[in-house]
Structure formats: C-alpha cells, structure tokens
C-alpha cells in the first residue's frame, strides 16, 4: 500500500513538473516589442485592431511598397516618421511629439541627398533652415523664430559663392542687404527698414565700378540718383522729390 501511494505521489509530481516546463518558457519568450499594425490602401482605421499604447504603424502603395512608417503612441504619431516614393526611395523624415510636428524635418531629392531641412516647434519653423542643390551644397541658409524668418539668410550660387545676404527681424527685411556676382564681387548694397528700402543704394559693375547711386526713404527714391558707364563717366542724373 505504501509503495503504491509513493508511486502515485511520484507520478503526480512528475506530471506537475512537465506541465510547468511547458507553460513557463512561453511566458518568458513573449516579445516586448510593440506590435506591427499594417494599414493597406482602402482599409479603414477601425479594421486595424484596438488602440495600443505603442504600435509600429505602416502604410503601403498598391504595389506593396512602403509609403509611410513610424510609431504611434495612444493614437498619436511619436518620434521619427519616414515617407517613401513608389520605388522605395525616401522622400521625407519627420519628427513628431504627441502627434504634432516637433523637431527636425528633412526632405530628399531622388538621388538621396537632402533637398532641405528645418526645425519645427509646436508645428512652426523655429531654428536653423538649410536648402540644398542636388549636389549637396547649400542653396539657402537661415533661421526661423516662431514660424517667420529672423536673423541672417544667405543664398548661394551653385559654385558655393554667396549670391544674396538678407537680414530679417520678425519676418521683415531689416538692416543691410547685399547681392554679389558669381565671382564674389558686390553687385548691390543697400539697407531696409521694416521690409522697405531705406537709406543709401549702390550698384556696381563686375569690375567694382559704380553703375548707380541714390537713396530711398520708406521704400521710395528720393534726392539725386546717378547712373554711370563702366568707365566711370556719368550717364544720367535724376532728382526725386518726396511725395507728400
């Protein structure tokens, strides 16, 4: 009797150990990664499953190529999102915080080089901005504050020489304005106040000789304006009166 009871207890213990060895490995190998939710063309949002704390969300073109992908947290875009063209080339990288543009945004040419990059805070440009030529060299460099231009903007020729320099204050052109020839020599120099030309205006030939001089007041020409030939001789003089 004791032997039979001992054998019975041993059998129960063995079966218990087998059961536990089957259950625990599965519990330990559950993935901690967010589930992948695939949203194909024409599939409404309610068919992709219940709201998850964090999901890897992807959209596709009809040809099966990824169109857009990124993370969603509690139904709102979070972190970097990537967009692609139908051939699979990246076209844009965007950073979100709680569903809003918040961080750097980069757009791309077909050759994979960035076409422009900007920083967004609360859905508005706020920070450095750069636009590029297809060869990767800068085309425009500037700065935004609360969605408008603020500070110095430089525009470039394809060879890298500065073509134009503009200073902004709260989205309006202010202070010194210059334009250059492709060889780097000054073409135009003037100043602005609240978005209008105001002050001395000077234009130059490629050899550095003046071709025009005059003055602006509140965006209008005033006083004596002179134009010159490339040899320095005066070609014309004209006087502008202040309109009342």
Reported as a pLDDT band with limits 50, 70 and 90, residue 122 is: confident
pLDDT in tens, 56-105: 899 999 999 999 999 999 989 999 999 999 999 999 999 999 999 999 99
Which bin fits 69, alpha (ψ -120 to 50), beta or left (φ > 0)?
beta
Mean pLDDT for all residues in the chain: 84
Which pLDDT score is estimated for 53? 74
Which pLDDT score is estimated for 10? 55
Report d(CA 171, CA 120) in Å as an integer. Answer: 16
Q: Do 110 and 89 touch, CB atoms closer than 8 A?
A: yes
Report the run of H or E that residue 2 belongs to, with start and end.
Answer: helix 2-28
In the chain, % of residues over pLDDT 90: 72
Which pLDDT score is estimated for 49? 43
Q: Do 61 and 48 touch, CB atoms closer than 8 A?
A: no
Which pLDDT score is estimated for 48? 41
Which pLDDT score is estimated for 242? 80
**In degrees to the nearest 10, what's the CA dihedral of 154, 157, 158, 161?**
-80
Quick check: 15 pLDDT over 80? Answer: no
Q: How many CB atoms lie within 10 A of CB 131?
A: 17
Report d(CA 67, CA 78) in Å as an integer. Answer: 17
Q: How many CA within 13 A on the CB side of residue 115?
A: 9
> Considering only 146-150, 231-235, 239-243, which range has the smallest mean pLDDT?
239-243
Report d(CA 210, CA 199) in Å as an integer. Answer: 17
Cα end-to-end span (Å), the chain: 125
Identify the DSSP state of 136: S
Query: What tokens were used for 1?
Result: 């009797």
- Report helix, strand or coil for 64: coil
> Considering only 11-20, 35-44, 197-206, which range has the smallest mean pLDDT?
35-44
Which pLDDT score is estimated for 51? 47
Quick check: 4 pLDDT over 90? Answer: no
pLDDT in tens, 143-195: 999 999 999 999 999 999 999 999 999 999 999 999 999 999 999 999 999 99
Query: What tokens were used for 180?
Result: 């250059």
Reported as a pLDDT band with limits 50, 70 and 90, residue 16 is: low
| Residue 234 Cα distances to 185, 201, 211, angstroms | 22, 16, 9
Q: Do 92 and 78 touch, CB atoms closer than 8 A?
A: no
Q: Are strands 36-39 and 54-60 parallel, antiparallel or unpaired?
A: parallel
Identify the DSSP state of 195: T
Q: How many CA within 13 A on the CB side of residue 77?
A: 16
Average pLDDT over residues 200-207: 96
Reported as a pLDDT band with limits 50, 70 and 90, residue 197 is: very high
3-class SS string, 163-186:
EEEEEEECCEECEEEEEECCCCCE
Which pLDDT score is estimated for 34? 46
């Amino acid at each position: 009797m004791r032997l039979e009871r001992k054998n019975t207890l041993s059998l129960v213990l063995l079966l218990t150990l087998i059961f536990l060895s089957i259950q625990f490995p599965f519990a330990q190998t559950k993935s901690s990664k967010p589930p992948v939710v695939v949203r194909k063309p024409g599939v409404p949002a309610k068919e992709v499953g219940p709201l998850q704390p964090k999901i890897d969300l992807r959209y596709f073109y009809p040809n099966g190529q990824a169109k857009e992908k990124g993370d969603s947290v509690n139904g709102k875009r979070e972190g970097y999102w990537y967009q692609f063209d139908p051939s699979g080339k990246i076209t844009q990288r965007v950073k979100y915080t709680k569903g809003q543009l918040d961080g750097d945004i980069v757009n791309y040419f077909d050759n994979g080089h960035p076409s422009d990059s900007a920083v967004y805070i609360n859905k508005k440009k706020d920070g450095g901005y750069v636009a590029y030529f297809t060869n990767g060299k800068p085309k425009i460099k500037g700065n935004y504050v609360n969605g408008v231009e603020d500070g110095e903007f430089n525009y470039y020729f394809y060879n890298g020489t500065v073509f134009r320099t503009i200073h902004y204050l709260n989205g309006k052109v202010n202070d010194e304005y210059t334009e250059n020839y492709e060889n780097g020599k000054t073409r135009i120099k003037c100043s602005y106040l609240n978005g209008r030309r105001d002050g001395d205006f000077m234009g130059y030939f490629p050899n550095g000789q003046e071709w025009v001089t005059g003055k602006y007041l509140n965006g209008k020409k005033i006083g004596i304006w002179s134009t010159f030939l490339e040899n320095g001789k005066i070609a014309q003089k004209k006087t502008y009166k202040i309109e009342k």
